[in-house]
Chains A and B, each alone.
Chain A
Amino acid sequence: MTIALGTSLKIRSMIYIAAEPIPFFWPMRTFIHHNPLHGLENMSFADAVEKADKLFHGRTFLPRKIYQQYLAAGKINRSAVEVTIENFVKTKDQIEGIDLTKWLMFLLTEMELPFVLTNTVADADDVHAVMSGNSVRPGTEIDINLLEERLREKLLGDRLVYEVVDTLFGTDIANELDELVIKSCLDFFDEGQSVWEMPGREQGFFTAWRDVAKRNLRFFLRGFHISRILEMADTPEGIIAYVMQQLGIPEDQWMDYFTRELSRLHGWVGFIRWRTSAKHYYWAEQYPGDLIDYMAIRLTLALALLNSRKMKRFAHTVDAIEETIQSKTVEAYLRHELYGKGILPAMAHRVSGVLEAGNEKQLESVFYQYIAAKRDDEARHQAARFEKLAKLSDNSDALKQLGAHDIARLQDIILDFEQQEGMLWLRAMESKAIGRLMNGLTPVSQDQDSQPKRPFAQAMFCIDTRSERIRRHLETIGDYQTFGIAGFFGVPVSFMELGKGGETHLCPVILTPKNLVPEITAAAPQEDAAIPVLERALHELKESVLTPFVTVEAIGLLFGFDMVGKTIAPQTYNRWRRHMHAEKPSTRLLLDKLSREQADSIVRAVQRAVIVKAVQHEFGLEPEKITDDIVRDLREAALGHQPAAGIFAESLNLADEQAYAFVGRLQGVYRINGDFAHRQIEQLGRIGFTLDEQVTYVGTALRTIGLTQNFSRFVLLVGHGSTSENNPYESALDCGACGGNHGLVSGRVLAQMANKPQVRRLLSEQGIDIPDDTWFLPALHNTTTDELRLHDLELIPPSHLVYIDRLGNGLVAASRLCAQERVPSLSIDLDPEMDTDTAFSLAQRNSMDWSQVRPEWGLSRNAFFVIGRRSLTEQLSLDGRAFLHSYDYRVDPKRRLLENILTGPLVVGQWINMEHYFSTVDNDRFGSGSKVYHNVAGRFGVMTGNLSDLRTGLPSQTVLKDGLPYHKPLRLITVIEAPVEHAKQAIEGVVAVKRLVHNGWLRMIVIDPDTKNVSLYARGRWREVELPIDEYSSSEELLAS
């Protein structure tokens, strides 16, 4: 089967569009927080969660029971709930005798489970009959046509063909298919975890899979006719078209069908989507594979499973299923009840028996009995809920007076209410949080903002919520001033670490850095330490195919010692192990752009070094015998500047042919040739920043946070990172603004730039006058241990060394206080009043304990994003729940800096917030479940158990505590301190943020420090809110969103 190019393109575009609701999944090495519903952000939040419910089958709000607990604990205002219920009731016609407000209030606060049951055969008449003490209608009173219609709706509406087959015939094709697809993905996308790799991967996903599948003995034995399907077309698009036609799916429904197929394994699909879009991703370039390949494989396997031997007697195309529903409605209904798990347990055995026997008379008889029993069961359960709610509302008599019609109306009203319930609770929670935040803020007007005295030190921290605590403590213990800025300090850097071959992008994933910064050693060359060499050897032994069997016998005990050490005394053992490794030498960053001469010189130096090594290696010559003349001679010959290497041949007494052959090897194997040298020069051109770029980056960073004067002696640039053992999610705890890496390098980059006299001179011309005695100093905030460690101390001018002790003491004190505040929250077993020593020590242990599933809480409980001066929040303890971005609107008359903050940090903050929200409300579906069961897959993700979808969200240990939410799922409450018009125009100017605000994906508030006016965006417009906000009576403005 050959399909036209147009059809092929149509299928490709359909699949790409169909995949849009599924978010990217970045490899775990650089965990990127993302909104699981990012693809639905063009819809309002309320609509998107409703769609997500259908698409991903995930819960989008917490269960009612948890909200009830929040209400009881005062985390939600009762008055807020009452106001919303009253507003809802106003939109409905009243039912005589029923106090609807009271009913709904009791429903929300006293009943744990949903009130309205999904009744299939009982209606209001039956419920009324039960409440009146009568019997429900008999089973024979059932409208078969209506039943058929409902079955058609349920089974042929928005379900995949094999899902319907599973529901009707009790097969397990859907899970079996997922397993087969996961295995195929694991084989193909592996990034070096497997010792034996899938053959032919360089040909692409579908082609490689097809070649293997045709020879797969297990498929053959199970009766899968894979080859027959694959013979039908040469291209993945052709296969897709063929399978869709075979399944009988009309072409106008293909796209929806593709979306449903893709959403079954949204982790893998998200990864493939990301991989396809990633530029210069090594594995994607080597082994290309896209969603078209994925879909072709999935559909081929699906059809093979449906056509397999054991499926022959079942209907498995859309037409056949439709025919079954129409001609065997009774049987189809009973099958759907039994295998769809909706059956009454008491009749399950009987129904199963008659379905197996296949006797039509018996089927009919059991069907009517079943309908009667089901109707009675449904009506009784629904009636019981009516009676319970009426009793709670002290309205039992009124309920008894209601006729069947009123019961139906009441049921409809409550159903409508329950459908809106999630948003109601969410708004009520948010109104409480907004009230507490706004009442704690202290906006300072221009008149009040006096010039403070010069602080001892200023520190720029990442906006990360974990910085809030340590900033607060640092400010309280001494003369420190702190600022919040995105952790890459506004400088996108591609970093090449000493001893590593690859580049790491240190910036948010939405940016691509242009400038390369290599790290170079400032110490003498070192010999390889023995221990790392031994460790490498052990790893190779472990990863080989046969050697593990011998390795375990021979040196297994060594691993035992390692295990005991890590488990019993992780701190002491890790300290001891660290001593065995050579320390990383002192390094510098190559920050300045190279001139053409410098670049040439570097290339020459590299070529010389390679030639020396080559001669040593191939001719066994001692270094002292390889003279500069020999090297020069070889180099010139290899670059084609002279015909032969005469001096070299003469020195080593080689024949011309031998010398010629060696020069050839230098050109080919050692890549000493003109082309490669040219490429090296180009690569070197990426290194560093021009002076103008450096001035721009430093100036922008300082202006963004409003630090343009009153510089102190030390300006700390504090990046952050985490340390933990045995934790695939480690990068999720690192700096998101640095692409899921440690933020230290970014701090070092900006410090090195800002300390440069030329940069300061040019900044001074722009009005930023940095005093000569100001020194920018990089530091790292370890968020697991709370330590603040200074770096590049060897570069500090001697005049500053006398202050280092005081600075160090201040940082240690802040770290200890921060640990004391934070560590008790990690477990309920910990003493909330623990002293600083214990807390600090426990934090250290957590970072080294390989059995610790929760080394820290990370960004859990994030709720606020404040853009403004520190004076706005300095009186308020935000418990590590706020992203704090410093901003002074007075230095940003054109709003460009604010727009930058909204475009980058705020959007990333919203991703983080939504990732936490959805991982909390449904940890199984949107989160990644418990870490305890995780296994690393292909070196880029984790799976639950040995085979599952890639787990995309956050693990339960990050958002739940003892099974209950630790993270409070709220939409990000954003506050901008600026004149209202100034902020509004900035928001309107950034399309992505405007969309988030208008669609209710975050709550936006603007506070004018001069007028103290507060504006909140809700239900399509800005609303004025009076300060202080009464926390106990929520206004309509706060509840609207």
Chain B
Amino acid sequence: MMEAVKLIIIGIFLPLFPLSIIFNVVFERLPYPALRGVVLLAWPLVGIYILHGVEEPLPDWVIIWAVSTAILYAFRLLAVRQMGLWIGFLATSAWSLLWIALNGGVSNDFPYLLALGFSIPLALLALLDRHIELRFGAAYTDLYGGLALTTPRLAGVLVFAVLAATATPVFPAFFLLLATIVNASPGVVVCLLLTWLLWAWASARLLQGLVVGPIVGEKIQDIGAGLSWLYAGMFLLLVVAGIYLTGGLL
């Protein structure tokens, strides 16, 4: 009974549908970007911490449930136009995959780093979301677009953050996903690849709706050069970490 309760609690922090609704409701209602960032970083760590306390092996149905949740939220990403919601759905989809990573063969030496590999780019995206909101009223696709021309620095940083969050080589999430795929059963592999494909598709749609297009309306102030360099440093750090730490997962 205790183990079942634990699993349910873990299902909230490493979200499994419908428990995932809790995270998404909480995340959507958080008013401050910094707080959103912190939640994105901390939420899965709690799940992993509790998961370590589970002594019995995870039942197979949990893996199927986790994979289903990942696909479901990846699919929902395609239709989402608001970036905040998009980040929440991607986080849900990505964290649910941690069940598989932690359960099946992926090195458990740095379990918290695995989660951070997904969460740090998402936290950066949450901060960028705020930058866009301040300039346009909301980060909403297919309304204004043209960030590449109006605010090229912001657009550049956004593109890298989205790529990092959707497990593009050579960011940490890519190695994590690769390691999970290598160690998973064939059926799960197909599901993981489908999830990955949907992320890539959704990221292309998001970027197309925000970054591409002509300049519309008045001049918008771009983010500062210093901040751009700070983000660039973060991405570099992620790449290095990906190669040295999560890269070793294989």
B218 pairs with A343, CB closer than 8 A? no
Q: Give a binary string over A330-348; 1 marks a CB under 8 Å from any B CB, 0 the rest.
A: 0000000000010111111
Question: Please, how many angstroms separate the alpha-carbon atoms of A343 and B82 in the complex?
Answer: 13
B142 pairs with A345, CB closer than 8 A? no
Could you say which residues of chain A place their CB within 8 Å of the CB of B191? Answer: none
Which of A113, A345, A348, A352 lies at the interface centre, i.e. has the most chain B CB atoms within 10 A of its CB? A345
Q: Is B27 an interface residue (CB 8 A)?
A: no
Question: Please, how many angstroms separate the alpha-carbon atoms of A344 and B217 in the complex?
Answer: 13
Measured between C-beta atoms, what is the minimum distance from B199 to chain A in Å? 21
Measured between C-beta atoms, what is the minimum distance from B93 to chain A in Å? 20
Question: Please, how many angstroms separate the alpha-carbon atoms of A563 and B158 in the complex?
Answer: 37
Query: Which chain B residue lies CB-closest to A346?
Result: B137
Measured between C-beta atoms, what is the minimum distance from B96 to chain A in Å? 24
Query: Which chain A residue lies CB-closest to B28?
Result: A349
Question: Please, how many angstroms separate the alpha-carbon atoms of A113 and B81 in the complex?
Answer: 28
Looking at chain A's contact residues, is the secondary structure mostly helix, strand, loop, or mixed?
Answer: helix
Q: Is B85 an interface residue (CB 8 A)?
A: yes
Q: Is B23 an interface residue (CB 8 A)?
A: no
Q: Is B65 an interface residue (CB 8 A)?
A: no
A341-B142, A341-B143 in contact; A348/B217 too (CB < 8 A)?
no
Q: Is B144 an interface residue (CB 8 A)?
A: yes
Could you say which residues of chain B place their CB within 8 Å of the CB of A341? Answer: 142-143
A345 pairs with B218, CB closer than 8 A? no
B85 pairs with A349, CB closer than 8 A? yes
B143 pairs with A348, CB closer than 8 A? yes
Question: Please, how many angstroms separate the alpha-carbon atoms of A349 and B81 in the complex?
Answer: 8
A341-B143, A343-B143 in contact; A349/B217 too (CB < 8 A)?
no
Contact of A349 among B136, B138, B142 (CB under 8 A): B138
Query: Which chain A residue lies CB-closest to B83?
Result: A349
A345 pairs with B140, CB closer than 8 A? yes
Q: Give a binary string over A111-129; 1 marks a CB under 8 Å from any B CB, 0 the rest.
A: 0010000000000000000
Contact of A113 among B85, B142, B217 (CB under 8 A): B217
A352 pairs with B81, CB closer than 8 A? yes
Measured between C-beta atoms, what is the minimum distance from B18 to chain A in Å? 19
Could you say which residues of chain A place their CB within 8 Å of the CB of B138? Answer: 345-349
Question: Please, how many angstroms separate the alpha-carbon atoms of A470 and B139 in the complex?
Answer: 56
Could you say which residues of chain A place their CB within 8 Å of the CB of B136? Answer: 345
A113-B217, A113-B218 in contact; A344/B82 too (CB < 8 A)?
no
Question: Please, how many angstroms separate the alpha-carbon atoms of A349 and B139 in the complex?
Answer: 10
A344 pairs with B137, CB closer than 8 A? yes
Q: Give a binary string over B121-153; 1 marks a CB under 8 Å from any A CB, 0 the rest.
A: 000000000000100111110111000000000
Question: Please, how many angstroms separate the alpha-carbon atoms of A345 and B133 in the complex?
Answer: 9
Query: Which chain B residue lies CB-closest to A342?
Result: B143
Could you say which residues of chain A place their CB within 8 Å of the CB of B140? Answer: 345, 348-349
Could you say which residues of chain B place their CB within 8 Å of the CB of A347? Answer: 138
Measured between C-beta atoms, what is the minimum distance from A801 to chain B in Å? 62
Q: Give a binary string over B75-103; 1 marks a CB under 8 Å from any A CB, 0 the rest.
A: 00000011001000000000000000000
Which of B137, B217, B218 lies at the interface centre, i.e. has the most chain A CB atoms within 10 A of its CB? B137
Query: Which chain A residue lies CB-closest to B142?
Result: A341
Query: Which chain B residue lies CB-closest to A352?
Result: B81
Question: Please, how many angstroms separate the alpha-carbon atoms of A343 and B140 in the complex?
Answer: 11
Question: Please, how many angstroms separate the alpha-carbon atoms of A341 and B213 in the complex?
Answer: 13
Query: Restricting to B155-201, which residues have a CB under 8 Å from any CB of A?
Result: none
A345 pairs with B81, CB closer than 8 A? no
Contact of B144 among A113, A345, A352 (CB under 8 A): A345
Could you say which residues of chain A place their CB within 8 Å of the CB of B82? Answer: 348-349
Query: Which chain B residue lies CB-closest to A344?
Result: B137
Q: Give a binary string over A318-360; 1 marks a CB under 8 Å from any B CB, 0 the rest.
A: 0000000000000000000000010111111100100000000
Question: Please, how many angstroms separate the alpha-carbon atoms of A349 and B136 in the complex?
Answer: 14
Measured between C-beta atoms, what is the minimum distance from A924 to chain B in Å? 9
Question: Please, how many angstroms separate the alpha-carbon atoms of A348 and B83 in the complex?
Answer: 12
Measured between C-beta atoms, what is the minimum distance from A927 to chain B in Å? 15
Measured between C-beta atoms, what is the minimum distance from B29 to chain A in Å? 13
Could you say which residues of chain B place their CB within 8 Å of the CB of A348? Answer: 81-82, 138, 140, 143
Q: Give a binary string over B206-219; 1 marks a CB under 8 Å from any A CB, 0 the rest.
A: 00000000000110
Measured between C-beta atoms, what is the minimum distance from B55 to chain A in Å? 43
Which of B81, B136, B140, B218 lies at the interface centre, i.e. has the most chain A CB atoms within 10 A of its CB? B140
Query: Which chain A residue lies CB-closest to B80?
Result: A349
Measured between C-beta atoms, what is the minimum distance from B147 to chain A in Å? 13
Could you say which residues of chain B place their CB within 8 Å of the CB of A113? Answer: 217-218
Question: Please, how many angstroms separate the alpha-carbon atoms of A348 and B81 in the complex?
Answer: 9
Measured between C-beta atoms, what is the minimum distance from A101 to chain B in Å? 26
Could you say which residues of chain B place their CB within 8 Å of the CB of A344? Answer: 137
Question: Please, how many angstroms separate the alpha-carbon atoms of A32 and B136 in the complex?
Answer: 45
Question: Please, how many angstroms separate the alpha-carbon atoms of A416 and B136 in the complex?
Answer: 29
Measured between C-beta atoms, what is the minimum distance from A697 to chain B in Å? 52
A sample of 12 inter-chain contacts (CB < 8 A) reads A341-B143, A344-B137, A345-B138, A345-B140, A345-B144, A347-B138, A348-B82, A348-B140, A349-B81, A349-B82, A349-B140, A352-B81
Q: Which 10 pairs across A and B sit closest by C-beta, in order of nearness?
A: A346-B137, A345-B138, A345-B137, A349-B82, A348-B140, A345-B140, A346-B138, A345-B136, A345-B143, A341-B143
Give me the interface of B with A, judged by CB distance under 8 Å. Answer: 81-82, 85, 133, 136-140, 142-144, 217-218
Other contacts beyond A341-B142, A344-B137, A349-B82: 10, CB < 8 A: A113-B217, A345-B139, A348-B81, A348-B82, A348-B138, A348-B143, A349-B81, A349-B85, A349-B140, A352-B81
